Amino acid sequence: MDGKLVLGFLNYLMLSLIFIFGLISLVVKDQKKKLSFLFFMLFCTGILSYLFFTKISFILPAIILLFFCLAVFLMVGGQEYFGFGRPVIKAGGQTSKKKKLEGTKLLVIVNLLISVFLCIGAGILFYYFNRDFYKGLILVETFKTADMAQIVGNMGINYIPVVLLLLCGISSAFFYFISILDKRGDGN
Amino acid sequence: MIRNLLGRVYPFYPVLFILGSGIITLFFGLSEKKPYKLLAVALSAFSLAGSLFINIFSFNLKGEFNSSLFNFGTLQVLLNSIVLFSAINILLFLALFNFAKKNFIKIIIMFDICITSFIFFIASVNFIMIFVSLVFFAAGAFQIVTSLSRGNLSKSIPEYSVKNNIIRFFLLSAFSLLLMFFGFSLLFGATDLKSFSTVIESDFKNTSLLKTGFFLILCSAFTFGGFVPLHSPYMKMQRRIENTGTIIIWLLYLPAGLFIFLKLKDVLFNFLGGHNNYIIAVLLAVSAASILAGNIGAIRTTSIRRIFSFLMLGIMGLSIAGFVQYGLGLFDEKSVMIYLVSNVILAGAAYIPLMSVFYYLENINGSDHIGNIKGFGRQNIYLAINMSIIMLALGGLPGTYGYLARISLLSPYIKNPGSIFAEAGGTFSKILNISVIVVMLIAWAFIAVNMIRLILVIYSRSEKKTGAGQAGFEEGLPGVGRALTAGPQKKAILPVFIYIYVTFFTLLIILAGIAGLFELFGLKQLLTGISIMSLNL
Amino acid sequence: MNLQFIILSSFALFLLGIFGLSFYRSFLSSIIAFQFIIFSATINFFGFSLFLYNASAWDKTFIFFAFASIYLLLFLIVFYNYSMQTGVYELDVKKDFRFFIFSRSDWWGEDRIGDD
């Protein structure tokens, strides 16, 4: 099979899988399953970026992303494990459960319909408004992407203040975690 | 060598000062002892004051600065000065209300870094720099607000409620930043230029993908600022967090939202300048919704925090109205910037002294119910007079700075009443003009009503203490989160410092108002070197 | 590979994120919806870079710095949400984290503390 065809097919497959896994991730109720499908979606995005010839330049953001997802997974797991130590905070008196259930169902359906129609409307608007943009486009003849040395060079030469800001932000976060993890709490 | 280094660092001398004080504070960072806390406050205060001075002095000496990442001109000097002045006052609030906290020094360090991010944001023009500095500023604000709001602050507000609403607000903040990120990705598709001004000057400015990207970034600006209809997280959070946290949101976070519009000014001026009535109508709708929701909502509540949160929403809406006037051809570019900045200055100058008193009273009485300030005017006559002047200034009393900020929006119609019904723009334009006047007058009236209401409560007689206590109303649900209602007002003994502090702001507002009036009538400038009407822009 | 299809797909993913934020109430769903928006922007950057610009390093730089900053913010929020320092568990059982709620206390009058 022609290499370009294979590449094209893989791209479309990955894009579809990203969308499908994302949808499933939203729809399932179990938190761990949500995160599992999110991870699959992440994996597909990684493959897609590889198919976009980004090579190693996606690795750096992917590492950050991976740490984040792992951290969320651990915290969700910890919450579920420890979460039954105290009673659930309740509010309000007894109300008629049946009426409340029917009312809630109607609200949920209305909310769902509004959200879906708004999103579809926005999608249609985006498609028609930007249709002409692609007509006059001059695409590159061969695919070339910047390598790691170029990217690091660009950061080093042009974006030193951003790196400084990043370091300041991480330092601030460090103090924040020390502050929030203090088991003595925050008495006055 | 030092001169070389200093030359390369310009215009970020304030950053040097603030980070320098932060680094020195680090040596005492984990201490909880009072002398070290005092040292941290003193260092931070001196660094902020020094930054404020060096910010203006270095600009006068070295002039404008332009690079691929930053642009530093008169506007940036002014915005930096506002931020640094606000930061000094926030530091005062931190010292007054949070000094005893165990993590006080860590909060000071986080605060210094947050201000540094904000200063970078003000000067930035490159998309990466704008985005990253804004994200770190939002992260810094989150860190400070959550650190301040730890622990059971108020018996009437359960901690889970505080936590949930902080998370909700900052999720909205994160969403706005992600919208901005997506908008930048679309801009990248249209052109690989890296700042708004270069994009607008290029041939790509009418590309559809570019317009979509700009639209999304504009949406992110509205979302970040908590404009209607996404104001709910902001309103809920302000009612629940610690005192100084609310000041940080009012004096730093929300102005940052307005400064995003200043970043987008080239874009907005380009698209509004073509007399595009639909864009003007949308801007007017959002502005009017925020003004009306803010002012009308404030009337129906008895929580002082909620009143001022609503009013701030109204002020945010008013600030955007300047762009509407530009679209209608009544403001030039400079007037829009002056108008927006004046509103930020007015809000800061009014909120700082007022909330310093109201929060003291809240601490004494245990809640921020409006009934707890009844009779305050009869017990503290001097302070009440000052507060009344400040509140009337916020309401737009002639002779104060508030009047100048309010009248500037209506001044084109006053100077040239015929512009309302000008034939040039067509019927739609006339409708827009009339709508602006109506919205402005309603806003002015409602703010004034809200302020007069507060003044009347302050001067009304306080209820005497009875055995049974006082019947109030219930804010929360039965058994959960019942707010303390208005009780008999305890005599408020405020430190002398507060009297001096409030007087300072009262004099500032009156002096600025009189100086502005002098300029308006073409008389000599009262404040030599500083033009109140043009803010030296 | 068609650039228009890639961009439309990424916008569909973006809209899925918007849908997730507007419909779902839980905290985790909001975080997941955020990931969709981030991924869609990343796909945009990579797609445009591949088809329109030869060896552009700017978009990769932007993605790196954007990821570092935005994920720090998100991690702070997630950490704060799940941290057990306050001793409060089952936080978002009754909590609605949607941004737009049309209830009386959000627009008018008094705030109902305890109803969240």
Q: What is the pLDDT of residues B19-69, one digit of tens each?
A: 999 999 988 767 788 899 999 999 999 999 999 999 999 999 988 999 999
Chain C contact partners (≥3 CB pairs within 8 A): A, B
> Out of A90, A129, A180, whose CB is closest to B208?
A129
Interface touch B143/A173, C-beta < 8 Å: yes
Q: Is residue C3 part of a domain?
A: no
- Give mean pLDDT, residues B455-473: 62
Q: Is residue C115 part of a domain?
A: no
Kindly identify which residue of chain A lies nearest to residue B15, measuring between CA atoms. Answer: A165
The predicted structure's pLDDT at residue B421:
66
- Is the peptide bond prior to B398 cis by the omega test (within 30 degrees of 0)? no
Q: Is residue C5 part of a domain?
A: no
Of B204, B375, B278, give the one whose Cα is nearest residue A137: B204
Alpha-carbon distances, residue B264 vs B213, B220, B335, B508 (angstroms): 12, 11, 15, 31
Cα separation, B394 vs B311, whole angstroms? 10
Interface touch B174/C77, C-beta < 8 Å: yes
Cα separation, B89 vs B91, whole angstroms? 5
Kindly tell me if the per-residue pLDDT of B470 is higher than 90.
no
Query: H or E element: which one contains A56?
Result: none
- Give mean pLDDT, residues B256-266: 95
Alpha-carbon distances, residue A108 vs A101, A105, A115, B119, C22 (angstroms): 10, 5, 10, 44, 11
Give the residue carrying structure tokens 């129609």. Answer: A117
3-state secondary structure string, B277-343?
HHHHHHHHHHHHHHHHHHHHHHHCCCEHHHHHHHHHHHHHHHHHHHHHHHHCCCCCHHHHHHHHHHH
Question: Which residues of A have a CB under 8 Å from any CB of B?
Answer: 89-93, 126, 129-130, 132-133, 158-159, 161-162, 165-166, 168-169, 171-173, 175-176, 178-180, 182, 184-188
- Give mean pLDDT, residues C56-75: 94
- Give mean pLDDT, residues A170-182: 87
Q: Is residue C52 part of a domain?
A: yes
What is the number of structural domains in chain C? 1
Of B79, B18, B76, give the one whose Cα is nearest residue B48: B18
- Is the peptide bond prior to B229 cis by the omega test (within 30 degrees of 0)? yes
pLDDT, greater one: B488 or B273? B273
Please name the amino acid found at residue B332: D
Q: Is residue C56 part of a domain?
A: yes
The predicted structure's pLDDT at residue B419:
66
The predicted structure's pLDDT at residue B406:
80
Alpha-carbon distances, residue C84 vs A86, B103, C88, C96 (angstroms): 12, 18, 6, 20
- Give mean pLDDT, residues B187-205: 88
Query: H or E element: which one contains B358?
Result: helix B333-365
Q: What are phi and psi of B304, to 5 degrees?
A: -65, -40
Between chain B and chain C, the number of residue pairs with CB atoms below 8 A apart is 177
The predicted structure's pLDDT at residue B411:
80
- Highest-confidence segment of A59-63, B366-370, C21-25: C21-25
The predicted structure's pLDDT at residue B425:
62
Alpha-carbon distances, residue C54 vs A144, A187, B294, C47, C57 (angstroms): 5, 57, 50, 12, 9
Question: Over the stretch A86-116, which tens digit does the pLDDT of each residue have?
Answer: 444 433 334 445 555 566 788 889 989 999 9
Q: Model confidence at B465, in pLDDT bands (50, 70, 90)?
A: very low
The predicted structure's pLDDT at residue B186:
95
The predicted structure's pLDDT at residue B423:
58
CB atoms within 10 A of CB A121: 11
Cβ neighbours of B131 in C, within 8 Å: 62, 65-66, 69
Kindly identify which residue of chain A lies nearest to residue C9, measuring between CA atoms. Answer: A15
Q: Is residue C29 part of a domain?
A: yes
Q: Residue C49's domain spans which residues? A: 17-106
- Give mean pLDDT, residues B509-521: 84
Interface touch C56/A181, C-beta < 8 Å: no
Residues in chain C: 116
Query: H or E element: which one contains A181?
Result: none
The lowest-confidence range among A155-159, B523-527, C109-113 is B523-527
Kindly tell me if the per-residue pLDDT of B420 is higher than 80.
no
Question: Over the stretch B293-339, which tens digit does the pLDDT of each residue have?
Answer: 998 888 888 899 999 999 999 999 999 999 998 988 888 888 899 99
Interface touch B175/C34, C-beta < 8 Å: yes
The predicted structure's pLDDT at residue B415:
77
- Highest-confidence segment of B5-9, B481-485, C33-37, C84-88: C33-37
Alpha-carbon distances, residue C16 vs A117, A156, B518 (angstroms): 12, 36, 57
Kindly tell me if the per-residue pLDDT of B471 is higher than 50.
no
The predicted structure's pLDDT at residue C14:
96
Q: DSSP readout, B90-139?
A: HHHHHHHHHTT-TTHHHHHHHHHHHHHHHHHHHHB-BHHHHHHHHHHHHH
The lowest-confidence range among A102-111, B119-128, B130-139, B485-494 is B485-494
pLDDT, greater one: A98 or B17? B17
The predicted structure's pLDDT at residue B491:
63
- Give mean pLDDT, residues C60-82: 93
Cα separation, B354 vs B391, whole angstroms? 8
Cβ neighbours of C64 in A, within 8 Å: 57, 60-61, 151, 155
The predicted structure's pLDDT at residue B527:
64
Interface touch B140/A172, C-beta < 8 Å: yes
The predicted structure's pLDDT at residue C94:
54
Q: Is residue C40 part of a domain?
A: yes
The mean of the pLDDT values for chain A is 81
Cα separation, B44 vs B53, whole angstroms? 14
The mean of the pLDDT values for chain B is 86
Interface touch B164/C91, C-beta < 8 Å: yes
Q: Is residue C57 part of a domain?
A: yes
Kindly tell me if the per-residue pLDDT of C52 is higher than 80.
yes
